[in-house]
Amino acid sequence: MTESVDFVVVGAGMAGASIAYELSQLGASVIVLEAEAHAAYHTTGRSAAFYMVGYGNDVVRGITLSSEAFYGNPPEDFCEHPLLGPLGAMYLAKPLQLPQLQDVYQRVSQCLDNVELVDEAFVYDKLPELKPGVAAGFWEPNSREIDVAALLGGYIKLATRAGVTFVYNARVSSLERIGDSWIISSEGREFCARNIVNASGAWADKLANLAGAVPLGMEPKKRTVCVAKTPEGVDVSRWPLTIDIDETFYFKPESGNILITPADEIPSEPVDAYAEDIDVALGIARFEEAMDVKITTVKRQWAGLRTFVADRSPVVGYDSQVAGFFWLAGQGGYGIQMAPALAKLAAALAVGRSVPDFMVKFGVTSESVSPARYQND
């Protein structure tokens, strides 16, 4: 058995890597155990990699906005290039969808002043290939591409430098509470920690079961993505991230190609998700229904699990019944854009501090993310 540490973090996706770094900055000793042979094998490695304040509910929005400062000014030596690149995002609405568009605008414009409700002419100027029928748009010019590999790599690099140990091929198979400590069994090895951080993504409820905690109703939902070759004569470089306001599809430019998803949310067990051809075809059909662009070649396709609890806000905090078991889960489709502030919030709560001041001003409260909202019925 290894020497006891303050925290064993289970999972080396964006959640596990980011909280490991933030805990190390608060002086905690940390080991990260990851079941797979490398970090980000599951959901983190399968995202669409965008940052959009208009995407997600008000809690997600507060955490996303709180992350802006980190993206603009990451710690020294974190990365070699900026973490965010230009994109711009647009929700599209047909006449009957205008109330939904208004609703998003009302919510987002309360906390971000450069978003706009734009008319048909603006929309068709941005997307000349759009078929007729769209009446208006919601325009978020500062939506950005996130360099996910750089973000994750920065966390792992600086966490390792601060003394965090990452152990791969280390699936946690049992958790036992003895006195004030946890004994964590993984592939024939044992680790000892005062606290466990559950950053196991789609497996979060399974890990809770191992710890004797009540599962929170985590729902992994599969989303399918493909990258299609841009047809001859089409210029995608000016296209924004484009989302139907009812989120039945979205697409965006992807290194000269087109990333397309049917925005599916297919309930799944926590598994190594893969793309079904029929879901790729559905995404392309919805894209072609919206755009006067014919897709002929799919270059890549994949699927990943976006894991939600019922209110679609993340779950961050100590379990209300099992001592020393800390949740950092339920990031849904927003776990990359929220990662910097979510990790600072989680690390603060994990060492017994309150919500960091810079997040309070964006309306983030510990109650809105607490696991207790699903445990105190």
Ligand X SMILES: Cc1cc2nc3c(=O)[nH]c(=O)nc-3n(C[C@H](O)[C@H](O)[C@H](O)COP(=O)(O)OP(=O)(O)OC[C@H]3O[C@@H](n4cnc5c(N)ncnc54)[C@H](O)[C@@H]3O)c2cc1C
Q: Which residues contact 247 (CB under 8 A, 6 or more apart)?
A: 263
Beta strands in the chain (DSSP E): 5-10, 30-33, 50-51, 84-86, 89-93, 116-119, 136-140, 144-146, 165-167, 172-178, 181-186, 189-198, 219-228, 241-244, 250-254, 257-261, 266-267, 298-308, 315-318, 325-329
The residue within the footprint of ligand X, chosen from 14, 275, 316, 359 (CB under 6 A), is 14
Binding mask 146-175 for ligand X (x = CB under 6 A): -------------------------xx---
Burial class (CB in 10 A: 0-12, 13-18, 19+), 99: exposed
For residues 136 and 197, which CB has a smaller minimum distance to ligand X in the complex? Answer: 197
Measured CA to CA in angstroms, residue 312 lies from 59, 97, 321, 330, 333 at distances of 9, 22, 22, 7, 9
* Rounded distance between C-alpha atoms, residue 111 and residue 217, angstroms: 30
| CB nearer to ligand X: pick between 211 and 245 | 211
Q: How far is the CB of 77 from ligand X (least distance, A)?
A: 23
Binding-site residue total for ligand X (CB under 6 A)?
A: 40
Q: Which of 8, 22, 46, 374 binds ligand X (CB under 6 A)?
A: 46
- 75-83, 107-115, 197-205, 317-325 -> range binding ligand X (CB under 6 A): 197-205
| By the rule CB under 6 A, 47 interacts with ligand X | yes
Strands 189-198, 325-329: pairing is parallel
370 lines the binding site for ligand X (CB under 6 A): no
Only one of the segments 21-29, 34-42, 174-182, 362-370 lies at the binding site for ligand X (rule: CB under 6 A); that segment is 34-42
DSSP letter (8 states) at residue 132: T
What is the pattern of x (binds ligand X, CB under 6 A) and - over residues 327-346? ----xxxxxxx---------
Question: Is residue 263 within the footprint of ligand X (CB under 6 A)?
Answer: no
Which part of the chain contacts ligand X (CB under 6 A), choosing from 14-22, 23-31, 275-283, 315-323?
A: 14-22
Of 171 and 312, CB closest to ligand X: 171
Q: Minimum distance from CB of 44 to ligand X (Å)?
A: 3
62 binds ligand X per the rule CB under 6 A: no
| CA 17 to each of CA 75, 167, 334, 353: distance values in angstroms, whole numbers, following the listed order | 15, 12, 16, 20
Task: Find the binding residues for ligand X in span 279-298 (CB under 6 A).
Answer: none
Q: Is 361 exposed, middle or buried (0-12, 13-18, 19+ CB in 10 A)?
A: exposed
Residues that bind ligand X (CB under 6 A): 10-16, 33-36, 40-44, 46-50, 171-172, 199-203, 207, 223, 225, 304, 306, 331-337
